[in-house]
């Protein structure tokens, strides 16, 4: 599912109004989106169980988790700073 939402994140990056082609992709095409999501979720069960694949995804997951925790840390510090300033 993360790949699905990452692809749509890239497709709709810097969309300024709802009249453009990329905004139409974001707001429409529900049948194709759900079909693609179902195909990706089903296709995940057919990935072969190989040691190389699992080792590669271990490092991808480690880097992704560090980025996620770092972004969350920045957001909570920014939130606390603004809340303290407005209190």
Same domain, 7 and 40: yes
Same domain, 74 and 35: no
Same domain, 1 and 42: yes
pLDDT on residue 79: 96
Same domain, 52 and 10: no
Could you read off the pLDDT of 22-62 as tens digits, one per residue?
Answer: 778 778 888 988 998 899 889 888 887 788 888 888 999 99
Could you read off the pLDDT of 61-72 as tens digits, one per residue?
Answer: 999 999 999 999
pLDDT on residue 84: 92
Is the entire prediction scored with pTM above 0.75? Answer: no
Nearest to 37 by CA among 8, 17, 60, 61: 8
Q: Which domain holds residue 17?
A: 1-47
| 27 vs 8: CA distance, rounded Å | 11
The Cα-based distances of 24 to 5, 21, 29, 36, 72 in angstroms read 16, 5, 8, 17, 30
Same domain, 43 and 2: yes
Number of domains the chain contains: 2
| 3 vs 10: CA distance, rounded Å | 11
Same domain, 77 and 66: yes
pLDDT on residue 28: 82
Same domain, 18 and 58: no
pLDDT on residue 80: 96
């Amino acid at each position: 599912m993360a790949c699905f939402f990452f692809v749509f994140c890239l497709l709709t990056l810097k969309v300024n109004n709802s009249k453009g082609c990329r905004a139409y992709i974001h707001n429409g095409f529900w049948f194709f989106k759900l079909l693609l999501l179902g195909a990706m979720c089903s296709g995940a069960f057919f990935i072969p169980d190989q040691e190389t694949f699992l080792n590669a995804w271990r490092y991808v997951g480690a880097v992704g988790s560090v980025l996620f925790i770092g972004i969350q840390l920045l957001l909570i510090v920014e939130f606390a700073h603004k809340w303290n300033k407005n209190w």
